[in-house]
Amino acid sequence: MRRCLALSLAVIVPRCSPAPTAPRNPVENLGQQAPNAPLPAQDVPVAPLLQALLDTAAAGSAHAADARLGLQAGPDVRALYDSADAPIWTTASGLTADAAAAWQQLGRAAEFGLPADYVSAALAALRDSLALPAGPARRSWQRARLDLQLSDAVLRLMRDLHRGRLRPQAEPARARGGAKWQPAAVLRAALGRGTVPAAMLAGQPTTREYRQLQAALARWRARPVPPDSAATNRARYQQAALNLERWRWEAWAPTPEYLFVNLPAYELQVVAHDSVRRRHRVIVGKPETPTPTLSSVVRYFTLAPDWHVPRSIATKEILPRLREDPGYLALNNLALYDQQGRLLDPFAVNWRAVTAQRFPYTIRQSAGCDNALGNVVFRFANPYAVYLHDTPMRQFFAAPARAFSHGCVRLAEPLALAAYLLRREGRPVRLPSEAECARQPAPRNVRLARPMPIYIRYATCTAENGRLRFFADVYGRDERVRRALFGPTAGPDENQAAR
């Protein structure tokens, strides 16, 4: 520790010139003590030492100053001390009550799915050094360095809870377009008021799904773990943790009502005022044609919709069938149109000469019971041309794993969802029966007076009634996030987190 402090001092203070000069400030005065001279008996103010350590000009740049001190949240640390004229976490007698509370909160990082490394060995050693004998000057340097290192740990945890550990520079989805979150200002406002732990957690997502998963994970970790279950327990912990990380990236801003589609769960939930009002089974995209995650708003739905076959399906799946039998279109209630929208006879086309790159046609399926979109399709703007819709292939909803589509989301009991959306705005609109569907009615759009937000996300671990629920990683996305958070194998901190 003495060698560490001496090295820090040498970096900050310029070497003395041979000619005696009057000291310019307390830091320089401390640096000019003769090697064997006794340290001054009087207290050395800590505030000038803090400012000297944070001096970016002396280091050459902010990056160099952060690297010299080992700060990972350097800009936020400097913002915290910008208006401070005294240490934040220490007094002459040791740590403050705020410091003790912050230290305890740092030790709970694993409850939030974060690696338990915010209290480093170096930080712990700095704290422990305050209990060892030291002269006033050395004690002041110990306090200054401890103050900065503890601030860095606290602000780093606050940043990671807000933005995510793996995306520290990116604003999360819920914060885009609003005022930028300022952790230093939030922390400064809590000092001396007994609210530091709450301030450290204030930047987390407030989305119901994140809150419930985090609370369930904290309870799950507190239960006893049999020794022979350690490996399974660790894997489960990491799966829950990486999903909390995803929520920090992708949680949405608070909204009272919304549709939530969880792809690995094959489920759509209608959430209103923090409770699930309806559940619908869904079919999602195959691994080779995955359903994208997105945020949008359902503004209307179409009854008895036409299906405009996506070009990718037309060229990859229908074109090979047409080369064998142009009658395939009629057998499947499909019609062929040119680029001007004119109906064509598929038997008049030389399909052997048509390629996927040169396909000047559109294919459309009219309304009816065999229409690929079924009785209703829910429309929402998105760059992927996906939507939520009925399907005539309802037998597939009985399968436990339902990744069968080309990317759109197929919905069980879709007319019940349409009726719910209409009831919530007091606008009863008559919906077609199965018999009316068979008569192939004309498509009809029903616009919502109160559009409904829809969020499609990928969560392989959720919470239900305070308990963790785990789902298969259908698109193989978990491992990359897990390794980035915890590394290829479990270390001591991770094993501790799993208990």
What's the rounded Cα separation, in Å, for the pair 319 and 278? 40
| Residue closest to 16 by CA, chosen among 37, 44, 47, 1 | 37
Which residues make Cβ contacts (< 8 Å) with residue 227, sequence separation at least 6? none
| Neighbour-count burial for 206-225, b at 16+ CB within 10 Å, e otherwise | ebbbbbbbbebbeebbeeee
The CA-atom distances, in angstroms, between 474 and each of 387, 459, 477 are 20, 10, 8
The CA-atom distances, in angstroms, between 100 and each of 9, 161, 197, 345 are 27, 20, 10, 80
Q: Of 4, 308, 369, 389, which is the active-site residue?
A: 389
Which residues make Cβ contacts (< 8 Å) with residue 334, sequence separation at least 6? 309, 318, 328, 363, 364, 365
| Residue closest to 233 by CA, chosen among 437, 498, 38 | 498
**CA dihedral (157, 158, 159, 164) positive or negative:** positive
Radius of gyration of the chain (CA): 31
Dihedral, CA of residue 454, residue 458, residue 464 and residue 468, to nearest 10: -170
The token duo for 298 is 């359902």
User: Dihedrals φ, ψ of 249, to 5°?
Assistant: -80, -40
Q: Of 280, 408, 437, 461, which is the active-site residue?
A: 408
DSSP bridge pairs for 453: 297
What's the rounded Cα separation, in Å, for the pair 161 and 200? 9
What's the rounded Cα separation, in Å, for the pair 281 and 359? 36
Three-state DSSP at 31 gives: helix
Q: Is 162 a catalytic residue?
A: no
User: Terminal CA-to-CA distance of the chain, rounded, Å?
Assistant: 32
| Residue closest to 298 by CA, chosen among 197, 377, 371 | 377
Q: Is 389 a catalytic residue?
A: yes
| DSSP annotation of 406 | S
The token duo for 301 is 């739905």
What are the start-end ranges of the E strands in 206-263?
A: 257-262
| DSSP annotation of 61 | S
The residues carrying an active-site annotation are 389, 408
